[in-house]
Amino acid sequence: ITLGVDLCRGRRRHSGTLQLPPLSWRQAERDLSRAPEGDTMARPTTLPFHPLPQINIIHADPDSFDVENGPSACCSPSGLQASPGSGLVLHPNLGAHGQRRESFLYRSDSDYDLSPKSRELSRNSSIVGELHGEDLIVTPFAQVLASLRTVRNNFTTLTNPLGPEFVSAVCLLTDESYQKLAMETMEELDWCLDQLETIQTYRSVSDMASNKFKRMLNRELTHLSEMSRSGNQVSEFISNTFLDKQNELELPCPMAKTREWKKRPHHQTQLEGQGTLTQISGVRKLSHSTGLQGSSISRFGVKTDQEDLLSKDLENINKWGLNIFRVAEHSHNRPLTCTMYTIFQERDLMNTFKIPTDTFVTFMMTLEAHYHSDVEYHNSLHAADVAQSTHILLSTPALDAVFTDLEILAAVFAAAIHDVDHPGVSNQFLINTNSELALMYNDESVLENHHLAVGFKLLQEDNCDIFQNLTKKERQSLRRMVIDMVLATDMSKHMSLLADLKTMVETKKVTSSGVLLLDNYTDKIQVMRNMVHCADLSNPTKSLDLYRQWTDRIMNEFSHQGDREREKGMEISPMCDKHTASVEKSQVGFIDYIVHPLWETWADLVHPDAQDILDTLEDNRNWYQSMIPQRPSPPFCTGDGEGDGEGGHRFQFELTLDDEQDGEMGVEEGERGTEEGWSPVEQGGV
């Protein structure tokens, strides 16, 4: 069959100025070395589907998943009935995508405006079959799969390989439409090949999404920073906290370096606090370690004269939004111990894993004592809140029977220890001050590594080993999972976690199976890591009165760090200057760019179980938006010494060396982006 176009060229033809109707989600191809001059036609970056999938569960067989040996015998959709394993099955949801505001991830990567015309141009083909409706695919790898299915569908139409009975479909095409379809098919294939050629062999396909999301976020932050000085500070805070820039190499900025050098006092070049690096700091002996007996254990693991009030509080242990502040008040400031005790009783974990009650309470009291009560936010109150939130997420109906008892134990334990011995300052502060911890952990997830070390070290204290009756293999498996989950609470890993989860979910949406199998360690731990990460970022999803208390606490902790930085003559970190920080704008930005995209993706995974959480999040966001003072923000400092000193330098982005190389390859690589996106020019500090 002659298709009317040259399909046998040695070099792939670039798409040129032809608009591609089939796919409404590809960025404009702007490589000047291949595109005709003046080709500026934009391709939006989201792909519409029709129903938002509902996820049902294939119940877990405790023996179907081996944390050490990987996949079970059930490794394909066809084998589900014969050998059931844990998995999420995508089923149609007749409801529409809903009227809720979508996150920035669904904006066009090129111009942030997915026009109605672009939405209409999408074609319903074999990409989704009959299971999906108005749902958008934004992760590049899933888009590639969807595009390849379009290519296959078009090829079937063009070549009619299925026999004479299907010839009518080809006959209905005019010569013009036939050639157009052939051209579009080749364009689809060209684009897929372009995407696949950019994949680095030592990185996962979800890095394509991570790089895209980082690039889009940085553009959003650049726009926000140009609006006001407070917006500039919020942008810098979000970028410095939630974007991992460890692999970036910034271009030299002599003026900034000179300014930083002049401000840096001599003592910053020396170690803060000398100690023995081979020892785990922060672990100390406590008097209660050996004094508890089984018969003396109280109803909720703690002694209190307000047991009735505490009992009433803990009636909500299985509800989202437990008032952990009242639990602390009624437990003599032992919220973590009594919350964990209640969770373990609810889940019967102490019987399942033969944990002696006195050992459990001793460990929990020891662990709670190693959280610093003088730290405003990262204390045992926060640990208890994250543990209880994790407990609720584990119980979501969509995930019923997905996780084994050991995995549940690991997740709740990880949540409990995830911030133990937190000093109330950020990782970057510890790195900038050459702290002992930063040296010990080579500047990589400094606090998270320390929390793990302390948490596991406390198990070695007298009568504290709550895992004493686990088998060796169970202990090894649990330790591996806990390490993965706690390291995932490093906020600089946020975008990678989000990209991993979203890529996994969307990839299954565009496959014919529609089944998200969780029968191997990589997939299952990915869900668990994001679960604990969601719990760690759950404050804005709680009732407004609870959320506001958490906000006050974190802002106070930031202010204390800012005071320490001021005393040391350091640049004050974004949002840490109590004189200039905008609480309301910081929370709106935090929700818009971090919390909402994460919870939006989680809600997609467990649909429809998290819809109320998203509703509360949107209400809280709107409340903080309404509280932003309606007055002009003070102008930026211009570098002449006027203004607020530390807050005076405008947040901006510069191309990294990797970005320049990617630019030479062409922006049309679509959703790829740079190695780590755009790099903010840090003005010292965190």
Number of other residues whose CB lies within 10 A of the CB of residue 549: 15
Domain membership flag for residue 421: no
Q: Which residue numbers belong to the known binding site for AMP?
A: 378-382, 419, 536, 587
Q: What is the DSSP string of 181-213?
A: HHHHHHHHHHHHHHHHHT--TTS-THHHHHHHH
Which neighbouring-strand residues pair with 56?
A: 89
Taking residues 139-144, report their average pLDDT.
79
Going by pLDDT thresholds of 50, 70 and 90, the confidence category of residue 315 is very high
- Helix and strand counts by DSSP (H, E) for the chain: 25, 7
Give dist(CA 398, CA 443) in Å, integer: 38
Domain membership flag for residue 218: yes
Taking residues 211-235, report their average pLDDT.
74
Across 195-199, 273-277, 607-611, 615-619, least confident range: 273-277
pLDDT of residue 548: 98
Taking a C-beta distance cutoff of 8 angstroms, is the pair 135, 97 a contact?
yes
Instruction: Please check the confidence at residue 379 and state whether its pLDDT lies above 60.
Output: yes
Give dist(CA 321, CA 385) in Å, integer: 9
Taking residues 131-135, report their average pLDDT.
49
Residue 378 bears catalytic tag: yes
Domain membership flag for residue 420: no
pLDDT of residue 207: 75
Domain extent for 52? 14-260+498-514+542-686
Residue of 361 and 272 predicted with greater confidence: 361
Domain membership flag for residue 172: yes
Helix or strand run (H / E) with residue 134? strand 134-137
Residue of 28 and 101 predicted with greater confidence: 101
Which neighbouring-strand residues pair with 412?
A: none
Domain membership flag for residue 470: no
Instruction: Please check the confidence at residue 29 and state whether its pLDDT lies above 50.
Output: no
Residue of 20 and 448 predicted with greater confidence: 448
Domain membership flag for residue 243: yes
pLDDT of residue 232: 74
pLDDT of residue 165: 56
Domain membership flag for residue 56: yes
Question: How much of the chain, in percent, has pLDDT values that exceed 90?
Answer: 41
Pair of tokens at residue 247? 């692999």
Closest listed residue to residue 47, CA positions, set 131, 130, 150, 187: 150
Residue of 168 and 326 predicted with greater confidence: 326
Distances (CA, A) of 323 to 93, 303, 332, 347, 550: 34, 19, 15, 20, 11
Taking residues 261-274, report their average pLDDT.
41
Pair of tokens at residue 616? 């509360």
pLDDT of residue 270: 38
pLDDT of residue 362: 95
Catalytic residue among 14, 132, 370, 378: 378
Number of other residues whose CB lies within 10 A of the CB of residue 621: 19
338 burial type by CB count under 10 A (0-12 exposed, 13-18 middle, 19+ buried): buried
Domain membership flag for residue 121: yes
Taking a C-beta distance cutoff of 8 angstroms, is the pair 647, 582 a contact?
no
Number of domains comprising the chain = 1
Closest listed residue to residue 550, CA positions, set 318, 224, 328: 328
> Please, what is the average pLDDT of the chain?
73
Going by pLDDT thresholds of 50, 70 and 90, the confidence category of residue 171 is low
Taking a C-beta distance cutoff of 8 angstroms, is the pair 516, 338 a contact?
no
Going by pLDDT thresholds of 50, 70 and 90, the confidence category of residue 563 is very high
Q: What is the pLDDT of residues 458-476, one digit of tens each?
A: 999 999 999 999 999 999 9
Going by pLDDT thresholds of 50, 70 and 90, the confidence category of residue 128 is very low
Taking a C-beta distance cutoff of 8 angstroms, is the pair 671, 143 a contact?
yes
Taking residues 233-254, report their average pLDDT.
60
pLDDT of residue 518: 85
Q: Which residue numbers belong to the known binding site for Zn(2+)?
A: 382, 418-419, 536
Closest listed residue to residue 53, CA positions, set 400, 535, 396, 507: 507
pLDDT of residue 162: 55
Which residue do the tokens 């990567």 mark? 109
Residue of 88 and 487 predicted with greater confidence: 487
Which neighbouring-strand residues pair with 66?
A: 70
Which neighbouring-strand residues pair with 91?
A: 54
Q: What is the DSSP string of 337-385?
A: HHHHHHHHHHTTHHHHTT--HHHHHHHHHHHHHTS-TTSSSSSHHHHHH
Instruction: Please check the confidence at residue 657 and state whether its pLDDT lies above 70.
Output: no
Pair of tokens at residue 208? 């394509």
Count CA within 13 A, CB hemisphere, residue 634: 15
Going by pLDDT thresholds of 50, 70 and 90, the confidence category of residue 287 is low
Instruction: Please check the confidence at residue 309 and state whether its pLDDT lies above 80.
Output: yes
Give dist(CA 25, CA 22) in Å, integer: 9
**What angle separates helix 596-605 from helix 611-627, to the nearest 10 degrees?**
170
Residue of 516 and 290 predicted with greater confidence: 516
Taking residues 362-391, report their average pLDDT.
97
pLDDT of residue 638: 41
Q: What is the pLDDT of residues 47-79, one digit of tens each?
A: 444 343 443 444 445 444 444 444 443 433 333
Distances (CA, A) of 142 to 206, 499, 606: 10, 12, 19
